[in-house]
Amino acid sequence: MLQGLFITISLGVYFTLLQASEYYEASFTISDGVYGSTFFVATGFHGLHVIIGSTFLIPPLRIRSSRLILTLRRRSLTILVRLYLLMRILFF
């Protein structure tokens, strides 16, 4: 599980960097009509989703990597992260 968390966070960071590069190199802006607005809003919300998801996965990675026993509080955080990801999959 530790390897899976690390890979997921790494891919999230990689995607965010690629998206920032794509924004920088885009030949259009958000004010260039419907296409520009739709592109930047849709990819912006998706990027925000990836950033939040990757951020929520960092505490479980740290907990698992330090080999600490999950207390009830930490277990609640893990459950909340899983619920957040499930909701994002179902409703996004």
Q: For all residues of the chain together, what is the average pLDDT?
A: 84
Question: Structure tokens of 46?
Answer: 């998706």
* Domain count within the chain: 1
**pTM of whole model > 0.85?**
no
Supply the CATH number for residue 68's domain. 1.20.120.80
Amino acid at 27: S
Nearest Cα to Cα of residue 60 among 14, 20, 1: 1
Question: Structure tokens of 81?
Answer: 């992260």
pLDDT of residue 74: 65
pLDDT of residue 69: 55
Q: What is the extent of the structural domain holding 33?
A: 2-91
Rounded alpha-carbon distances, angstroms, from residue 17 to 29, 37, 51, 66: 18, 21, 11, 28
pLDDT of residue 50: 93
Q: Work out the average pLDDT over 63-88.
A: 72
Q: What is the pLDDT of residues 1-43, one digit of tens each?
A: 778 888 899 999 999 999 999 999 999 888 989 999 999 999 9
Q: How far apart are CA 20 and CA 69, in angstroms?
A: 37
